[in-house]
Structure 1
Amino acid sequence: MQKFVGMGVALVTPFKKDLTVDFEALRKLVQFNIENGTDYLVINGTTGESATITKEEKQQIINTIVEVNNKRVPLVLGVGGNNTLEVVKELQTRDLSEIDGILSVAPYYSKPTQEGFYQHYKAIAEATEKPIILYNVPGRTAKNMEASTTLRLARDFSNIVAIKEAGNNQQQYYSLLKDKPEDFLIISGDDDLAIGVTLAGGSGVISVIGQAFPAEFSKMINLALEGKNTEAYKIHYKLMDIVDYIFEENNPAGIKTVLQELGVCSNYVRLPLVKATTQLSSKIANFVKHF
């Protein structure tokens, strides 16, 4: 699955002041990323505020990105949730003809057992022929999907091709890298750990900050994929502070503030999220000014 190697970005959903989707800004964001080296685009993930996007808006967002992309880079669509039957239903009823892969978040709130995780993803794998990227993010779901469960799924289902691991847990990354099937991809979901995971044998990152600095972050990841750690870490150190800033309060308020400073889109977010504070916005503006 070479199409998911390198730097994917978890796109924000830009909003206007009235909190409707800003499709003009979305077009600008997609074009900016494709022109500057992003390897693939992730639609309607956590960073896209999927929790507050309606079904109708989701389809409009997909249509817009498909049109702007024009088959230039692979597209991954977020289809996940804690109601397995609803996830399966969406996979079976939504037009996925222009989508290259599915990113499916681990069930949140319900706190399933490891067997529950397995059965949830088994149902998803059997509902579609599309390649599936598992998404483990215990900080949001309240339960960790253990490496043993991920590896069991990787071995049992040929269309489960990767995991976006976002537990900020280096030991779990190492366990996955050590025992994974040869063609199974370990993708970092942690911008701060992306370079180390890639150098250790990972396949890159699905990044938040990457959409604001696609040329630099994608170069860093590709250098790491080539084993050029000295050159890669130079870029990592240059971006370290802004990676910390964007997660200081909430995601995507931080990254939207960066994108506003870059003139890509506004910083509006939907409740229950709120804009970055004045203090954080000032730090971000200062970073962008001197980058």
Structure 2
Amino acid sequence: MYEEIKRRLRGSIAPVITPFDKNLEVDVKGIENLVNWHIESGSHGISVCGTTGEPSSLTVEERELVMETAIKTAKGRVPVAPGTGSANQKETLHLTKRAQEMGADAALVIVPYYNKPNQQALYDHFKTVADSVDIPIVVYNIPGRTATNLEVKTLARLAEDCKNIIGVKESNKDFEHVNRVLLHCGRDFLLYSGIELLCYPMLAIGGAGHISATANITPKEVADLYNLWVEGKVDKALELHYKLMPLNDVLFKETNPGPLKAAMGMMGKINPALRPPMGPPSEPLERELRETLQSYGLVEQVIKS
């Protein structure tokens, strides 16, 4: 039933930021522009309202607006898998059902954050969400943000018992853990890297692609990392992996998406506003961001007289 979407939902699934206008309201036109830019640049899919999209700073109604805008703008050109999870199960169920009603291709559902449920509670939560919809579910495991790690055995139970749980985004620096995901969940289970420096290694062990915040800066290159790998151009993919590393590093020296939005502002892509309590990067990091973007030819170098 889900084979077609499992075939399509591969490669660079761009986790699009949520742009705000000068009044800190959701910039709908900005979302449309970004989604079109990603598709034109070669991104293989779109995700909104994930960590990079600041979902905890959005109301439920705003998250629905962002999801609907992305889905309508994509017009089926690439799959759209919005983030629908939260720390509140009722809210998660509502947003996941709304994503299905809007025509999303899948939903990205995060491990509930802050409340730290045990493994059985996590199983029950995800099974409840999966059973409530027909839409495919990609679980989102990001222990650094949620303070809880979804263990491989729990994920394997979910993959076995819920046929619409088709994959996982692992923002998990434990590379042994992510290897065991495919061992226990099956090699056809979709495994995405959410850690920028693990995008290339994840492909090497059988991953389906990556959901990398850096795609907001260099969508073509992040997509090409996957393209080169599947084309068998391993040396070129490895070269691109190392070429992107300085950019990946600087974007995560402070909490995402602060540096990312600042960089996109320097590129003229968005108004770089974040909603409080998030704030702009420190002045030293601002300078480092600009210098890094200049080194990639993404912004012009200012020549002082």
**Shorter-chain-normalised TM-score: which range?**
over 0.9
- Does residue 133 of structure 2 align to residue 128 of structure 1? yes
- Does residue 43 of structure 2 align to residue 18 of structure 1? no
The answer on whether the counterparts of 1:204 and 1:225 sit within 8 Å (CA) in structure 2 is no
Specify the alignment match of 1:243 in structure 2: 248
The answer on whether the counterparts of 1:199 and 1:227 sit within 8 Å (CA) in structure 2 is no
Which AA in structure 2 matches 1:242? L
Specify the alignment match of 2:148 in structure 1: 143
The answer on whether the counterparts of 1:7 and 1:206 sit within 8 Å (CA) in structure 2 is yes
1:84 alignment partner, one of 43, 66, 89: 89
Larger relative contact order (CA 8 Å, sep ≥ 6):
1
Q: Does the C-alpha gap of structure 1 residues 138 and 229 become closer, same or farther in structure 2, counting only changes over 3 Å? A: same
The answer on whether the counterparts of 1:106 and 1:134 sit within 8 Å (CA) in structure 2 is yes
Partner SS state of residue 73, structure 1: coil
1:173 alignment partner, one of 160, 171, 178: 178
Count of residues in Structure 1 that have an aligned counterpart in Structure 2: 291
The answer on whether the counterparts of 1:188 and 1:204 sit within 8 Å (CA) in structure 2 is yes
> Which stretches in structure 1 are left out of the alignment for 5+ residues?
none
Which AA in structure 1 matches 2:182? L
Specify the alignment match of 2:78 in structure 1: 73
The equivalences for 1:1-291 within 5 A come to: 1-92=6-97, 96-291=101-296
The answer on whether the counterparts of 2:84 and 2:107 sit within 8 Å (CA) in structure 1 is yes
Give per-residue Cα distances to partners, 1:199-242, cap 9 Å, x unaligned.
Answer: 11111101100121011111012222344321111111111011
Give per-residue Cα distances to partners, 1:94-149, cap 9 Å, x unaligned.
Answer: 66332000000001111111111111101011000000000000101111111111
Aligned-residue CA RMSD (Å): 1.5
Q: Does the C-alpha gap of structure 1 residues 20 and 93 become closer, same or farther in structure 2, counting only changes over 3 Å? A: closer
Which AA in structure 2 matches 1:232? A
What CA distance in whole angstroms lies between the structure 2 residues aligned with 1:78 and 1:196? 24
TM-score by length of 2: 0.91
> Which stretches in structure 2 are left out of the alignment for 5+ residues?
1-5, 297-305
Q: Does the C-alpha gap of structure 1 residues 234 and 92 become closer, same or farther in structure 2, counting only changes over 3 Å? A: closer
Which AA in structure 1 matches 2:40? E
The answer on whether the counterparts of 2:113 and 2:147 sit within 8 Å (CA) in structure 1 is yes
